[in-house]
Amino acid sequence: MGSSVACHLAQREDFSGRIIVLEADPSYETCASARSAASIRQQFSSGINIEISLYGIKFLREIGAQLAVGSDRPVIDLHEGGYLFLATPDKQPILRKNHQLQQQLGADIRYYDADGLVAKFPWLNTSDLAAGCHGLTGEGWFDGYGLMQAFRKKARSLGVDYFSGKAAIEREGAEYWSVRLPDGATVSTPIVVNCAGASGGADLCRQAGIDVPIVPKKRCVFTFECRDDLVKFPLLIDPTGTYVRPEGTGYICGSAPPEDQDPDAADFDIEHGLFEDHIWPVLANRVPAFEAIKPGAAWAGTYDMNLFDHNAFLGGVAGVDGFYMALGFSGHGLQQSPAVGRGLSELIATGTYQTLDLTPLAFDRLAADRPIVEKNVV
């Protein structure tokens, strides 16, 4: 996210300041973007999230031109296989209402009743399902690490400086912030943009005198192979919340653990029991071909989870001049990075959003108790 903001800001003709990005993990070995399952969807129930992702897919389709450096055009292997959200009878009205809003805003999503699901996806067990929605275009998965590096390379080509290590900030008078760099040097700046996410975003907010309900949560991703050829397999979201999608010659999958087994992340240990006890049984029931699989590699990463409403806090903070945030994406950061980077660059340079108004995601909704609640079917 930080590289997207830096890249967009550096491209603006109305901004001439120096831009520094501080990376807590310069190897990107444990950063959330590198360990993400990297997907994009418009199947949300809130208009702002749908519009953010509609711009996001446009950007990803054009990434070769958008983030080219000389003759080097980045490739992120975008696969528009679509999300397939499945609904049981009690959640069917929510699915239909969400679909209506998605269509109104221009998302290419098709609604299927149970019979339509059987006809479209013959490998699917629909015995407990009433309906489903599938993204025909504009949804899918991509190389998240490749997107992150493309933003970084473009930003560096535009003069953005990168330093390794965690930042520490404190107020310096009424108009400036003092940012301590890893070598002990300090930089005075009128603007700080906190995109630190799970690697310290909440800590930076506290240093600025702001409490945010954002904590790191561990999420595990598992891979497996299946001998059956399941044609045009999408990114499937089971009513339990378990997901699975194609990856190479096999599949990747995951699921949030039960709430009472979901402490704040303290390590990157893989929770193999989650796959054996929950994920695989769910997938084998939903797709009978998955009863016989060959498990493969697995890894763990972190979400910067916004406990308030699972949506990002974006923009400035009232009473804290020069401090901006892009935090709490709760698993949606990669897909939202193009629109958020563009929006924050507009806000910093001009004082307002010029293209897509991101104020519904402003931090002041916390104090106003105005959550953006996603009415999902899972």
What is the chain's length? 378
Q: Check if the beta carbon of residue 269 is closer than 8 Å to that of residue 117.
A: no
Q: State the pLDDT at residue 28.
A: 85
CATH number, span 215-306: 3.30.9.10
Selected from 3.40.50.920, 1.20.1600.10, 3.40.190.10, 3.50.50.60, the CATH number assigned to the domain covering 2-41+49-75+143-211+309-367 reads 3.50.50.60
Q: What is d(CA 338, CA 322) in angstroms, rounded to the nearest whole number?
A: 22
In this prediction, residue 291 has a pLDDT band, given cuts at 50, 70 and 90, of: very high
Q: What is the CA radius of gyration of the chain?
A: 21
Q: Kindly tell me if the per-residue pLDDT of 25 is higher than 90.
A: no
Predicted local distance difference test score (pLDDT) of residue 349:
97
Q: Using one digit for the tens of pLDDT, what is the confidence trace for 331-340?
A: 999 999 999 9
Per-residue pLDDT at 53: 98
pLDDT in tens, 179-197: 998 788 899 999 999 999 9
pTM of model > 0.85: yes
Res 265: pLDDT: 84
- On whether the CB atoms of residues 272 and 298 are closer than 8 A, the answer is yes
- pLDDT category of residue 34 using cuts at 50, 70 and 90: confident
- Write the single-letter amino acid at 227: R
Q: Among 252, 251, 254, 224, which residue's Cα sits nearest to residue 241?
A: 254
pLDDT at 302 over 80: yes
Which pLDDT belongs to residue 263? 82
Name, in order, each residue with C-beta under 8 angstroms of 276's C-beta and a sequence gap of 6 or more: none
Whole-number Å distance between alpha carbons of 85 and 236:
6
Start and end residues for every CATH 3.30.9.10 domain found in the chain: 215-306
Report pLDDT digits (tens) over 72-117.
Answer: 999 999 999 999 999 999 999 999 999 999 999 999 999 999 999 9
| Mean pLDDT for the chain overall | 95
**CA 325/CA 314 separation, integer angstroms:** 5
